[in-house]
Structure 1
Amino acid sequence: MKLKFPTAYTILFALIALVAIATWFVPAGQYDRVANEALGRDVPVPGSYQVVEPNPQGFYDVVLAPIGGFYDPVSYEARAIDVALFVLVIGGFLGVVTRTGAIDAGIARAMVRLKGREKWMIPILMAFFAAGGTIYGMAEESLAFYALIIPVMIAARYDAVVGVAIIMLGAGVGTLGSTINPFATVIASDAAGVPFTNGIMLRFALLLACWLACVVFVMRYAAKVKADPDLSIVADKRESNEAHFLKGGRTGGEAPTFTSMHGLILLIFAASFGVMIWGVAAGGWWMAEMSGLFIVSSIVVGLIARIGEEEFTSTFVDGARDLLGVALVIGIARGIVVVMDAGNITDTILYWAESAVDGLGKVAFINAMFALQGLLSFLVPSSSGLAVLTMPIMAPLADFSGVERSLVVTAYQSASGLVNLINPTFAVVMGGLALGRVPYERWLSFMWPLLLILIVIIMAGLSLSALA
């Protein structure tokens, strides 16, 4: 019997178990922490690391970790339960809109108008998501766009991987090259004791270079798939993906009639996402407000389409049910950090990282910092959580190596953004792949050449800046 790569659920549970085993061997330790009023959080005190009583995690803790992952707010902008509820509401909203036929008719009309120019959707959409990443760290809210973008890409004779890449790489490279992102650059700079504008030109350069590399990479893959669908890394899922995302597998034939009702529904559909972006970027919204927005939008769409109350509620629930697996992945992924924190090994790993860069020269220091932040990003996928954890410890070490503290901030956010393009402990990655029906191991096979290119770009930028 042919062995199959395990599902996301098995991978995440295995990681939880491995981290729990590590708490039996890794020395337990903690830094003292003080309140930082500017950040509104407690931050570790440099030089205060001390060994503490070990708290090894056992079978009981592993079983409860995914449950704790839903509720534990430590180091995260939102609890996983809030994000999971948002995903379920998005599923319900998409179910109602799909029921009206507006998405199917809209895609058909768009394909007719874009005939021969479909490839230009890739750089335009990736620029849009990169803007969200660099401005406010678009992450969980990007999950709302998968059911919109992927059907368009499949109808354009690409595949689901192209749709996933547009969103995940677009927003991810924007976060990698964060310029004014309050959840990464601003928090990290404040914790490092420098203005967030320091080093902004390097971050702009990294953003542009990495975005261009991602666009070229995705466009080449998309062109290859369009020329020969069998070259898709999800070629064996083509028929099922067409049936799932196009609600019947229609990629050709007679297009459905586009009516004025469809136009109005799609206008509300687009406006809902626009209002969501405004609410997050300027209105102080987060998961509760965004969930409420899409509930209201669902009701408005149902009224316009004259869907009966019973049919509306059943359609909404069916849509939410389609994304239940994604919601579960989000909580399970965060269970890994729950076990690390409970086992008192998070600060020990940070202390080892602090010791590893002590006394290095400029170029060696900043590249070692980049590598260590990448490792820590795997364990702490939250950009703001990683900033609060590491910057008070790592930034002062730059003074001894003759490196600007702002460069340490850039190394941190570049490493965090890079790792979170493939990080199995990052709920946005596992959730996005689940939404796109792309197996994790195939995403890795798709990504590894691009990761090498991005690493070279980032290390070159950091090294040249350290020597400047």
Structure 2
Amino acid sequence: MPSAFTILFFIIIILAVLSWIIPAGKYATDASGNIIAHTYHQVASHPQGIWDVFMAMVVGMIGDSKTEGAIQISLFILVIGGFLGVVNKTGALNNGIAAVVHRYKGRERSLIPILMIVFALGGTTYGMGEETLAFYPLLIPVMMGCGFDSIVAVAVALVGTQVGVLAATVDPFATGVASATLKISPGDGLVTRLILLVIVTTISILYVMHYASEIKKDPTKSLVYAQRKEDEKRFMADNAEVKPLTKVQKRVLWLFALAFIIMIMGLVPWTDLNSHWTFFNTLTDWLHNLPVLGILIGKDLPALGTWCFNEITLLFIVMSIIVMLVAHMSESEFIDAFMGGMGELLSVAIIVAVARGIQVVMNNGMITATVLHWGEVGLSGLSRSAFIILTYIFYIPMSFLIPSTSGLAAATMGIMGPLGHFCHVSGSLVITAYQAASGWINLITPTSGILMGAMAIAHVNVSVWWKWIAKLMVILFVISCVFLGIAAVL
């Protein structure tokens, strides 16, 4: 498979060619810029050329009169990378999970739900994925030592993180990018996604624990029983002593959790959920009116619940500095860690701009409205539940072709969000459907480096993994469809 960059670039070329074929058109919009249904009309053709194809990626970053640029999102992604780089420099995350594993030694069955919840929280808050590769050499010998197998160890981290991605709540790379594309708050639909998170995480934990119990009673039921002796030679000697968390690492973990808690509190539209929930607005007004201190804090400080990308970008910059101070990092260590973390996510930040180039070509070619019109006509008799389920199914192959969640969101939300509007489905639920499909396909797609890396470390053939997870995939698919269908009509 070519990279997501190549796939997105070829999509831009294809859409530029289509701008010569598809009739150009426009919709009337209201004062807020929202499309007004049934107002489509054709306009003069605006075919896109070679210059336009390459310029689309530049405009995708900085924006123009027709398309908002991705610079705000890309900067946030880079800052998140810097924050994670500083936290990882302290070793707090890795040692934190290792300490949990060590603490529950001898009670590993009870460790399964605890760790899966921890990994699910990582997946739902910041799209944890590649980071899990560091834990398999630790989890495999622990799980094998209590009578389980390498599949259980892989499932704890892989299934845990990906069901978190499936029901991502505030993941900046999925929820954040998709919400920015639709110009809604990442906090919209948060309660719905939290309910889905609880459901799919519980089901996945029960599935893994059932398999673990079965092979504990009868080891021959393990799907990798034939290689048990080889696995013991490979992994059992690797069960090294785990160092306890230092006081500094504990403090960093608390700060790490606090950063995401503040972000969630800042993004949740409290007054929209309940007009009486005005505590944060009142508190902010009180702070602004304080003599001297109000000016010192800043008169532009927005209330929690009204934050967007600028505010949460600043939050993670400030939290990075606080972690530096708590961890007693030197200025050079902090800069190296922050810049290194930004470098890790540079490709993600750029891919958002490349994906936004698709929207640029469609908008400048004036074919976006025509495609939406076709959707409006084709979906005219479709119920809300049918639309959202079809959206979920549509995103499954799309997630396979474009594994980058941020790239996929930036590339498609400009079309799928307005289509949902025509069917009276909220943009936040369209985002939930896209995330559910992305997390679902990540559990089995061979294009995922996370999955194939885990299989390589555990010496498990991917076909064996597919056989083990097949029933869970069916269950998660059905649950997702039913949940989305119900949520669409509530």
One-letter code aligned to 1:156 = L
User: CA 1:433 to 1:295, structure 2 compared with 1: closer, same or farther past 3 Å?
Assistant: farther
2:163 and 2:421 mapped to 1: Cα distance?
A: 29
1:309 and 1:204 mapped to 2: Cα distance?
A: 39
2:47 aligned partner:
56
Aligned residues of 1:414 and 1:458 also touching (Cα < 8 A): no
SS in structure 2 of the partner of residue 42 of structure 1: coil
2:212 and 2:20 mapped to 1: Cα distance?
A: 46
1:259 aligned partner:
246
1:106 and 1:455 mapped to 2: Cα distance?
A: 32
Alignment of 1:176-325 (within 5 A): 252-281=239-268, 282-325=304-347
SS in structure 2 of the partner of residue 46 of structure 1: coil
User: 1:367-398: per-residue Cα shift (whole Å, max 9, x none)?
Assistant: 36743686599699469855762355334xxx
1:52 and 1:279 mapped to 2: Cα distance?
A: 42
1:70 aligned partner:
61
1:8 aligned partner:
4
SS in structure 1 of the partner of residue 48 of structure 2: coil
One-letter code aligned to 2:264 = I
**1:23 correspondence with 2:19:** yes
User: CA 1:126 to 1:320, structure 2 compared with 1: closer, same or farther past 3 Å?
Assistant: closer
One-letter code aligned to 1:54 = S
One-letter code aligned to 2:364 = A
Alpha-carbon deviation of 1:218? Answer: 7.6
1:85 aligned partner:
75
2:391 and 2:448 mapped to 1: Cα distance?
A: 26
User: 1:300-343: per-residue Cα shift (whole Å, max 9, x none)?
Assistant: 22223332222322232222222222222222222222222222
Aligned residues of 2:120 and 2:161 also touching (Cα < 8 A): no
User: 1:66-97: per-residue Cα shift (whole Å, max 9, x none)?
Assistant: 22222349999x95322222222222222223
1:172 aligned partner:
166
Unaligned runs of 5+ in 1: 36-40, 131-137, 176-180, 191-195, 232-238, 240-249, 396-405, 425-429
User: 1:38-84: per-residue Cα shift (whole Å, max 9, x none)?
Assistant: xxx322223222122222222222212222222349999x9532222
1:414 and 1:316 mapped to 2: Cα distance?
A: 31
1:247 aligned partner:
none
Identical aligned pairs, as a percentage? Answer: 29
One-letter code aligned to 1:6 = P
One-letter code aligned to 1:273 = F
1:402 aligned partner:
none
User: 1:13-55: per-residue Cα shift (whole Å, max 9, x none)?
Assistant: 22222222222222222222222xxxxx322223222122222
Alpha-carbon deviation of 1:112? Answer: 0.5
Report the RMSD for the aligned CA atoms in angstroms.
Answer: 5.3
**1:98 correspondence with 2:88:** yes
Alpha-carbon deviation of 1:120? Answer: 0.9
TM-score by length of 2: 0.61
**1:42 correspondence with 2:25:** no
Aligned residues of 1:93 and 1:295 also touching (Cα < 8 A): yes
Aligned residues of 2:20 and 2:47 also touching (Cα < 8 A): yes
User: CA 1:67 to 1:167, structure 2 compared with 1: closer, same or farther past 3 Å?
Assistant: farther
1:107 aligned partner:
97
Aligned residues of 1:162 and 1:222 also touching (Cα < 8 A): no
User: CA 1:93 to 1:410, structure 2 compared with 1: closer, same or farther past 3 Å?
Assistant: closer
1:245 aligned partner:
none
Unaligned runs of 5+ in 2: 141-151, 170-174, 216-221, 227-233, 269-303, 399-406, 455-461
Aligned residues of 1:107 and 1:155 also touching (Cα < 8 A): no
2:483 and 2:386 mapped to 1: Cα distance?
A: 10
2:36 and 2:249 mapped to 1: Cα distance?
A: 58
Alignment coverage as a number of residue pairs? 392
Given candidates 386, 406, 412, the residue that maps to 1:367 is: 386
1:219 and 1:73 mapped to 2: Cα distance?
A: 52
2:288 aligned partner:
none
SS in structure 1 of the partner of residue 77 of structure 2: helix
**1:124 correspondence with 2:114:** no
2:276 aligned partner:
none
User: 1:123-149: per-residue Cα shift (whole Å, max 9, x none)?
Assistant: 53577589xxxxxxx7xx634x55766
User: CA 1:385 to 1:58, structure 2 compared with 1: closer, same or farther past 3 Å?
Assistant: closer
Q: Which has the higher Rg, Structure 1 or Structure 2?
A: 2
2:321 and 2:176 mapped to 1: Cα distance?
A: 33
Aligned residues of 1:391 and 1:409 also touching (Cα < 8 A): yes
